[in-house]
Amino acid sequence: MHQLRRRTSLLVSAVALGLPFALVAGGTQPATATTTRPALARAADPGSDPGSDPGSDPGAEAALRELRAEADGGVRVDRDADGRVAQVRSADGEALVGSAATTPRAAAVEQLADHGEVFGIDGDDSTARVTQTLPSATGGTVVRAEQRVDGVPVFGGQVVVSLDEDEAVTALQGATTTATAVTATEVGEDRARRTALTGVAKWHATTTDRLRVRDLGRELYDPALVGATDAAGVRPVWHFEVTDGGAVRETVLVGTGRGEVALHFDATPALNRVVCDHRNRRTADPFATLGTCVSPARREGGAASGLADVDAAYDSVGATSRTYDDLAAADLTSLVGTEISGSDALLTTVRICFDGPEGAGPCPYDNAYWDGRQVVLGAGFSRADDVVGHELTHAFVERTSGLFYLYQSGSINESLSDVVGEVVDHRNPLSTQDDSAWTIGEDLPDADLRRDLADPTRSDQPDRMTSATFSTDVEDVHTNGGVGNKTAYLISQGGTFNGQTVRGIDAGDAGLAKTGTLYLETIPRLTSGADYAALGRTLVATCDELAATSAAGLRAEDCASVRAAVTATELAEAPRKGAAAPTVPVACPAGATMTDDAVRRDDDGIDGFGFDSTSALWSRVPSDDVPAFASSGRESLFGASPDPDGSGGSATSATLVSAPFTVPTTTGSSYFHFDHAYDFEAFGGTYYDGGEVVVSEKVGTSWRRVTGLSWVNGPNRRIMGDTASGVTGWGGDSRGYGSSQLDLGPLAGRTVTIAFRAFGDESDRATGWFVDDVRLYTCDSVLPGAPRVTGRTAGATSATVTWAAGFAGQGLSGWRVTRPDGTTTDLPASARSVTVTGVDPRVTGRVVVTALGRDGAAGGAATAVFTPTTATVTASVARARSGRTFTVTGRVTARGTSTVLPGRPVVLQRKASGARTWSTVGTGTTGSTGAKAWLVKQTRATGYRVVVKPSGAYFGSTSATRLVRMR
C-alpha cells in the first residue's frame, strides 16, 4: 500500500450532495457563482417584504428599491429560504408598473431591461430572452423569458412577467442563477451523446438500437434550480432527450468538463394505474407506430367509428379541449397539437401495445402518457376523461411552465394534471360516473388503485408538507402530488383541515369554473423548477390578479380561501423528512457514560486510523480539482465511483482500509461512528453503484470478514453492480451529510481492520462517497444490566422467582420487585429469589425484577410470567353399569385460550352420591394434547373432578364436577 495522498486529477460531480458554493469545470470558481434558489418561501403570502438577507446581491436589492419607487400602490415581495427575491407583485392584483410598449413581448423586454436585475438579469453577463407569450383570463398576458449566461441558456433559469390588458406589470417572478461565466468545453457532444444513450439503455433495460437521441445543445446547469444540491455546483452540460418512441423519454444532462451524468430523469408522465386485461397487437417499432398517423380511425367531425376506445378518446379529448377554451380561452390544439396533413391536430393513439428488448413487453399496455407529440393510451384508458385530461395537461405544462419531472416540481406537475383532469371530469356532460368523490381513474375498467384528491392518504400520499409519507426521492413524483391535490380540493370544495377552515370557492358550481380558471392561469406563471412554496405564492398572486378584474367571478373572499388552503397544507413549510440523510449522535446508551470520545479519529490533520488505499479512486480532499466537502472543518475522505475513463482506470471496486487496531475492552461497548454523504448511480429502484463498510478480524495469521454487528443508520440497499445477487450497502443519493454507527462491542479485545469500499458496474458514474469525522469511542455501563430469570415456581396463591445477576456495571445497589398488583418491594443486592404472596391464580401474573444502580436508579429488568390454567373433565359414558370400567379424562388449557398445556401434574378426584369429601382416584401428568385419562369403576352415582397442581410457571385450578349416573 501507498500512503493516502491528495489527488489532483478528479473533478467531483453529483446530484444532491449539498455543497454550499459553486464549482465550475477546470477548478475555477467565479466569485459571483452563487444561486437564486426556488426554495422554501418564508411565507405563502407574507404581505410585505421581510427585508433583504445579509447575503443578498446588492445589485438585486438596489434594483428592488428602484422598482418600489416606481410602483403604483403597495408592493408585495416573496423571498426564498436564502433571502433572495422570488416574486414581486402588486398588493391588490392591479397594475404595479406601467409601460409605454404596445405589445406584450415589447412590454416584457422593457420590464426585464428596467427591473430584471431584481432576479440577476443585468443585461451584460446575464440576459433574458422572451420565449413565449400566453393570453390570460384577466385580459392580459403571461410572458416567459429564458435566462442566458455568456449567451448560453440556463437549464431551468427563467423569469415570468404577468401583464394586464394595458401591458402594465402586475407580477414578476423568477428562478435564476447568478453565475457569470461558462467555462470552456472539454468533453465533446458526440462523447456526451454516447454516455446519455448507453445510460438510458441500462436504466430502462433496453438496447441502444431501440433509442433515439435529440440534441438540445449546451446549457448551464445550476442544481438548485431543480431543487437539488450538488458537490460540483454550477457547470455547463450537454442537454439530450433520449426516447424509445414509446413510454421512455429521458432527460439527460452530461457535464462538458468530465463527461459525467450530472442529472437525468424520465420526462414521460404516466398515471400508473392497473386496468383490466385487453388484447392488443404487439408493436416492435414504437417510432413507426407512434409516428405520423397515416390512417386515423376517426377525424374531426367524422362519424363515430364504432370502436369503443377510439370514440371514447375522441369524446374525452374534445371535453378537455372545451375545458381549456371555456376557462382560459386557450386553444389547446395550437398549443400542444401535432402537424398532420398541414394542420395541427390533437393526436391520440389508443390500445397501444409494445414489445420489449427480448420480445416480451407490456401487452396489453396498462397505462397512459404524453410522449411529447400525442396522448398514448392503453386499452380501456380512453373512456376515463379525467385520465385523458390529466395527460393533455402534462402537454400544456410542458409547453408552458415546463415543470421538470423530478423532486417537488415533478410532484406539482402530477398534481396540476390531476386537478385539471378532475375539472374536465366535472365539466364533461358525457361522463357517466359519479364525479363527486374527487378520485382520478374511477372510469377505468377494474381499476382498484385511484388517487383521491379529497383524501390523498387513502392512496398512501401525503396531504400536507410535514406528512410522514412525504418522499424525498428524486423520482417519487406521484406520491408527493397528494399535497397539491389536497390544496386544490380545499380551494374548490372547502372544509376544516389542519386547524384551518376553508370556504370552497366552487360552492353551487358543479363545473368548478373558479378552480379551473385559477389553475389554468397559475400553470404558465410557474418556473420549471418550482417547489410547493412557489406554487402556494403563485396561486395566491394569480387569484389576486384574477379577482382584480372579476375574471371567472373570482372575488377577494375567494382569494382568502386560497390563502387558507395554502396554509392548511403547509405549502410554505419544509418537508418533515428534510433533504439530508439520517443522523445518529455521538452518545452512549442510556445508563452508560463516555469514557473516551476519540480512541481513534480521522479528521482535519488527524489520521488516527492510518487509512490507506491501493486505489487512486480514494483520496483526501480538497485537492486541486476536488472541492472541499466536509461535515465539519475542511478535509474529508473521498471515494469516487468506478471510473473507466478517468484516473481510476477500469476499477470496479476501491477500498480504503485502516491499520490494524485492538477494540478496547470496556464494561459497556465501543462504537465506530462516521459522517458521510454519497451519490451513487441508481435508477428506478435499481442501485448500480454503492458503498459498504467491511470489518475484518485477525484469526491466527489470517483475516476473516465479520458479519452480524449492529448498525444504527446502516446499509440498506442491494447494490447490483458488484455481484449477480448484489451486496447490501449504501446506494442512491443521500442528499447531504448524515451519519452511521457500528457497535464493535462483540469484538472487544480483538484485532480488527475497518475498510470503506466503493464499488459498482464501471459505467455511467455519478460522484461517489464523502466520509468525514470518523471516530472510535467507548462507553462504560453505569447502570446494572437486567437479571436472568433462572426459575419460576407457582403456589396456590403465591409466585416464587429466582434469578442470576446480569452484567452488574458500576454499583449494583439492590433489586426492586414489582408484584402483579403493581406494588413494589426493594431487596438487597445479595438477593437472588423472592416469593410474592396473595396472588390471584385466576389471572396472568407478572413479577418484574429490576436491577438498581447508584442512588436507586433503575437499570435493566426481567419479567417472570405466571399463567393461570383451566381444567375440564369428561367421561366416556353418561351412565355406568355397576362394576364395569369406563374412562374419565381431564384436559388442561391456559385460561381464556384454547392452548393445551402438556406436562402439567393433575389429580383425579371423586365423591360418591351422599359422600361429604373428595377422594383421590389417581394422579399423573398431561400428555402432548394437554389431557390425562384414567380407568374407573363405580357402584353408585359419582361425581368426578380434575385438580391441576401449581407447578413451574403455571397456577393450579380445579375443574367443574362431572356426574356419572348408574344404569
User: What b-and-e string marks burial along 850-860, b requiring 16 or more CB atoms within 10 Å of the CB?
Assistant: bbbbeeeeebb
In a domain, 376, yes or no: yes
Whether 14 has a pLDDT exceeding 50, the answer reads no
Whether 626 has a pLDDT exceeding 70, the answer reads no
What domain range is 925 assigned to? Answer: 869-966
Strand partners, 850: 816, 861
State in Å, rounded, how far the first CA of the chain is from the last one.
Answer: 98
Choose from 83-97, 502-516, 852-866 the range with maximum mean pLDDT.
502-516
Clarify whether residues 856 and 875 are in a common domain: no
Q: Number of H helices and number of E strands within the chain?
A: 12, 54
Clarify whether residues 518 and 404 are in a common domain: yes
Which residue, among 380, 384, 390, has the nearest Cα to 351 in the 3D structure? Answer: 380
- C-alpha grid cell for residue 471? 418522499
**530 CB-side CA count, 13 A:** 35
Clarify whether residues 559 and 487 are in a common domain: yes
pLDDT (0 to 100) of residue 130: 94
Choose from 189-198, 469-478, 484-493, 642-651 the range with maximum mean pLDDT.
484-493
pLDDT (0 to 100) of residue 43: 37
pLDDT tens string 111-159: 999 999 999 998 889 999 999 999 998 899 999 999 999 999 999 999 9
Domain boundary among 518, 545, 568: 568
Clarify whether residues 851 and 898 are in a common domain: no
Higher pLDDT among residues 622 and 502, named by residue: 502
Clarify whether residues 757 and 679 are in a common domain: yes
d(CA 857, CA 642): 53
Looking at the structure of the chain, the number of domains it has is: 6
Whether 879 has a pLDDT exceeding 50, the answer reads yes
Domain holding 249: CATH number? 3.10.450
Residue 478 annotated as catalytic: yes
Domain holding 659: CATH number? 2.60.120.200
Detail the DSSP E strand segments found in 80-185: 85-90, 126-135, 141-149, 152-163, 169-175
Of the ranges 342-356, 474-488, 512-526, which one carries the lowest mean pLDDT score?
342-356
Whether 248 has a pLDDT exceeding 50, the answer reads yes
Clarify whether residues 793 and 841 are in a common domain: yes
For the chain, the average pLDDT equals 84
Choose from 42-56, 71-85, 559-573, 675-689 the range with maximum mean pLDDT.
559-573
pLDDT (0 to 100) of residue 725: 63
Q: Give the rounded distance of the alpha carbon of 713 from its chain centre.
A: 16
pLDDT (mean) for 599-616: 92
- Alpha carbon distances (Å) from 813 to 782, 824, 851, 857: 12, 16, 8, 9
d(CA 438, CA 654): 53
In a domain, 777, yes or no: no
pLDDT tens string 42-99: 334 444 454 545 446 788 888 899 989 888 888 999 988 778 899 999 888 888 888 8
pLDDT (0 to 100) of residue 733: 84
In a domain, 442, yes or no: yes
pLDDT (mean) for 748-765: 88
Q: Which positions ≥6 away from 718 have C-beta within 8 Å?
A: 687, 726, 727, 728, 731
User: Taking a C-beta distance cutoff of 8 angstroms, is the pair 484, 532 a contact?
Assistant: yes
In a domain, 844, yes or no: yes
Of the ranges 2-6, 171-175, 610-614, 745-749, which one carries the lowest mean pLDDT score?
2-6
Residue in 239, 264, 390, 478 annotated catalytic: 478
pLDDT tens string 889-924: 999 999 999 999 999 999 999 999 989 999 999 999
- Alpha carbon distances (Å) from 254 to 212, 732, 936: 16, 18, 92
Position of cell 469516487?
640
Clarify whether residues 561 and 615 are in a common domain: no
d(CA 279, CA 281): 7
Domain holding 891: CATH number? 2.60.40.10
Residue in 117, 391, 414, 762 annotated catalytic: 391
Strand partners, 221: 155, 235
pLDDT (0 to 100) of residue 580: 58
Whether 10 has a pLDDT exceeding 80, the answer reads no
Detail the DSSP E strand segments found in 734-852: 738-743, 751-759, 768-781, 788-794, 798-804, 814-818, 824-828, 833-837, 845-852
In a domain, 8, yes or no: no
Domain boundary among 816, 851, 866: 866
d(CA 202, CA 919): 84
Choose from 294-303, 433-442, 848-857 the range with maximum mean pLDDT.
848-857
Of the ranges 207-216, 474-483, 899-908, which one carries the lowest mean pLDDT score?
474-483
Clarify whether residues 765 and 883 are in a common domain: no
User: Taking a C-beta distance cutoff of 8 angstroms, is the pair 280, 365 a contact?
Assistant: yes
Kindly give the residue spans of alpha helices, DSSP state H, lying in 237-285: none
Clarify whether residues 496 and 629 are in a common domain: no
In a domain, 609, yes or no: yes
Residue 391 annotated as catalytic: yes
Choose from 72-86, 317-331, 696-710 the range with maximum mean pLDDT.
696-710
Whether 628 has a pLDDT exceeding 60, the answer reads yes
d(CA 222, CA 220): 7
In a domain, 809, yes or no: yes
Clarify whether residues 551 and 598 are in a common domain: no
In a domain, 228, yes or no: yes
Domain boundary among 203, 233, 266: 266
Clarify whether residues 364 and 395 are in a common domain: yes
Cβ neighbourhood burial of 914 (10 Å; 0-12, 13-18, 19+): exposed
User: Taking a C-beta distance cutoff of 8 angstroms, is the pair 105, 143 a contact?
Assistant: yes
DSSP letter (8 states) at residue 419 = H
- Alpha carbon distances (Å) from 560 to 327, 539, 569, 571: 21, 11, 15, 15
pLDDT tens string 422-434: 999 998 877 666 6
Q: Give the rounded distance of the alpha carbon of 937 from its chain centre.
A: 74
Provide long-range contacts, Cβ within 8 A and 24+ apart, for 103-109.
103/167, 104/133, 104/140, 104/141, 104/143, 104/163, 104/167, 105/130, 105/133, 105/143, 106/167, 107/143, 107/161, 107/163, 107/167, 107/168, 107/169, 108/133, 108/143, 108/145, 108/161, 108/163
Q: Give the rounded distance of the alpha carbon of 252 from its chain centre.
A: 22
Clarify whether residues 221 and 322 are in a common domain: no
